[in-house]
Amino acid sequence: MQIHTPDWVKHAVFYQIFPDRFAKSKQPRKQVLRTARWEDWEAMPTLQGYKGGDLWGIIEQLDYIQDLGINAIYFTPIFQSASNHRYHTHDYYQVDPMLGGNPAFKELLDAAHQRNIKVVLDGVFNHASRGFFFFHDILENGPHSPWVDWFKIHDWPVSPYNGEYPANYEGWAGNRALPVFNHDNPEVREYIMEIAEYWIKFGIDGWRLDVPFEIKTPGFWQEFRQRVKAINPDAYIVGEVWGDSREWLDGTQFDGVMNYLFAGPTIAFAAGDRVVMDQVQSRDYKPYPPLFATEYAHKIQELLQLYPWEIGLTQLNLLASHDTARLLTIAGDDKASVELATLLLLTFPGAPSIYYGDEVGLPGALDPDSRRGFPLETAWDREILKTHRELIALRHAYPCLRTGDYKVLYAQGELYIFARVLGTEELIVAVNAGTASAKGNVDAASLRTQPNKLLYGAAEVEWSVEAKHLTFSVPPRTGCIVGVGHP
């Protein structure tokens, strides 16, 4: 079977935005709440407080986003909801009025598209919320409600708020705030398909699917793909699956998943024994125990062989998200860990995704702390920002970093060297995760070119014509990219 994935994703650098925390509009706008009791922007976030970020604020920051080199945005949910993260959907057809509603989203979409920035929305289709009007009808009318079969009601009366009583209906992960849809009901299935179609017609460029593995109804995601792709064949469908995702990446369902199988080993190699265990143990990816270069190479080769190449190029690769602690905090505030991992991220096949604020060194422990307000410019880490800018620019400049073959050339101790090759274009990346300088030889026979130009980093590279090898001397806790100059 011929697998088709959207070409633009292979060339995309994503930016993940949590809308309540990225930016508040500075322009006068018709806001729902003028004197809202927002949490202070700089204060530590709480589970239930709002900071008042909105879509107009994001529009005002599009120049910054574009200047960083970003050409795709993934938004965590934006539909009307009674939670700051908006995974508790009230109405799938209405953008939250606090964010500016549908008109602000239309304005944002147009402004992003004018800059050739794609927009992917979060689709929360496994569960709704107590405030979702079909479920609310059940709360008002009990067994007489016409929507009873839309959910998994076990008994009466349902108890949506009082924990002293059984909920009597299925909630996601046992949470009564998130009633689970009955996807076996054809009406529910059709309702969700129509939402997916509505927003693709509205102009969005794809869907990120929340916990899609929870939906077990046969054929559900196959139909979802067919209907979305019938409207826009280049729409991106990416699932939130943390582990081996082969059953969803067969070409009939998703184009990719959030690639935590890349994040785990990459952090374990780049941060090593600096990883703060409290920040990672409760999550389904494993940035521990520390990995040496040989072990890292083995895990990366396994990952690259797990899925068809066409799918590998449209994975959503990440180091952090709203569901994890931030990398800087995981690595015990060690900046070198962030820079090494970012180098590995931006030179890997698949679309890199940067969690808002990571590029300026925003720290954050597990939720809710990993969802802080985007920092004021005075608090930015300029060094981390410079790393991101340079690496994103190189990724855009060299097609081999996006769609070229990935070949491991050397992996010993804590020195890892690989090449990205596309036709006659070849770049070599070396990463030294150790605390001492490292030296490694690469056999010239494995190279197509004679790389002689340092494009990134501070290593020393020497050609030995007699011995026919290239010697890399890489300073501790740094990495480099070498090529034959600009294409």
User: HEC states along 352-410?
Assistant: EEEECCHHHCCCCCCCCHHHCCCCCHHHCCHHHHHHHHHHHHHHHHCCHHHHCEEEEEE
Can you tell me which residue has the tokens 């729902």?
Answer: 32
Q: How confident is the model at residue 171, as a pLDDT?
A: 97
Sheet strand arrangement including 460-464: 438-443, 469-474, 460-464
Give the catalytic positions in this structure.
210, 240
For 7-126+181-397, which CATH class?
Answer: alpha beta
Q: Please compute the mean of the pLDDT values over residues 130-145 and round it to a whole number.
A: 97
Sheet strand arrangement including 415-422: 405-412, 415-422, 425-432, 478-483, 453-456
pLDDT tens digits along 313-354? 999 999 999 999 999 999 999 999 999 999 999 999 999 999
| Segment among 26-30, 218-222, 400-404 with least mean pLDDT | 26-30
Give CA–CA dist 200/120, Å, rounded.
10
Residue 451 has pLDDT above 90, yes or no: no
Give CA–CA dist 8/234, Å, rounded.
8
Task: Categorize the per-residue pLDDT at 1 as very low, low, confident or very high, splitting at 50, 70 and 90.
Answer: confident
Per-residue tokens: 245: 């995702």
Residue 271 has pLDDT above 90, yes or no: yes
Q: Please compute the mean of the pLDDT values over residues 217-242 and round it to a whole number.
A: 98
Per domain, the residue ranges of the chain are: 7-126+181-397, 402-483
Q: How many CA atoms lie within 13 A of 475 on its CB side?
A: 7
Residue 476 has pLDDT above 90, yes or no: yes
Asked if 426 contacts 400 with a C-beta cutoff of 8 angstroms, the reply is yes
Q: How many CA atoms lie within 13 A of 393 on its CB side?
A: 11
Q: How confident is the model at residue 337, as a pLDDT?
A: 98
Give CA–CA dist 285/243, Å, rounded.
8
Fold classification of 402-483 is Immunoglobulin-like (2.60.40)
Asked if 19 contacts 52 with a C-beta cutoff of 8 angstroms, the reply is no
What percentage of the chain carries pLDDT values higher than 70?
A: 99
Q: How confident is the model at residue 445, as a pLDDT?
A: 86
- Strands (E) in 6-102, as ranges, are 14-17, 72-75, 79-81, 89-95
Q: How confident is the model at residue 486, as a pLDDT?
A: 53
Asked if 39 contacts 46 with a C-beta cutoff of 8 angstroms, the reply is yes
In whole numbers, what is the pLDDT of the chain averaged over residues? 96
Measured N-to-C along each axis, helices 382-397 and 335-346 cross at an angle, to the nearest 10 degrees, of 10
Q: What's the pTM?
A: 0.97
Residue 385 has pLDDT above 90, yes or no: yes
pLDDT tens digits along 197-210? 999 999 999 999 99
Q: How confident is the model at residue 54, as a pLDDT?
A: 96
Residue 446 has pLDDT above 90, yes or no: no
Give CA–CA dist 6/350, Å, rounded.
12
Q: How confident is the model at residue 448, as a pLDDT?
A: 87
Q: How confident is the model at residue 277, as a pLDDT?
A: 96
pLDDT tens digits along 275-315? 999 999 999 999 999 999 999 999 999 999 999 999 999 99
Quick count: other Cβ atoms within 10 Å of Cβ 50?
17
Q: How confident is the model at residue 31, as a pLDDT?
A: 73
Residue 269 has pLDDT above 70, yes or no: yes
Residue 87 has pLDDT above 60, yes or no: yes
Are 7-126+181-397 and 402-483 equal in CATH topology?
Answer: no
Asked if 416 contacts 431 with a C-beta cutoff of 8 angstroms, the reply is yes
Residue 191 has pLDDT above 80, yes or no: yes
Residue 22 has pLDDT above 90, yes or no: yes
Residue 487 has pLDDT above 80, yes or no: no
What percentage of the chain carries pLDDT values higher than 90?
A: 93
- Which residues sit opposite 318 in a β-bridge? 353
Q: How far is CA 124 from the centre of its chain?
A: 15
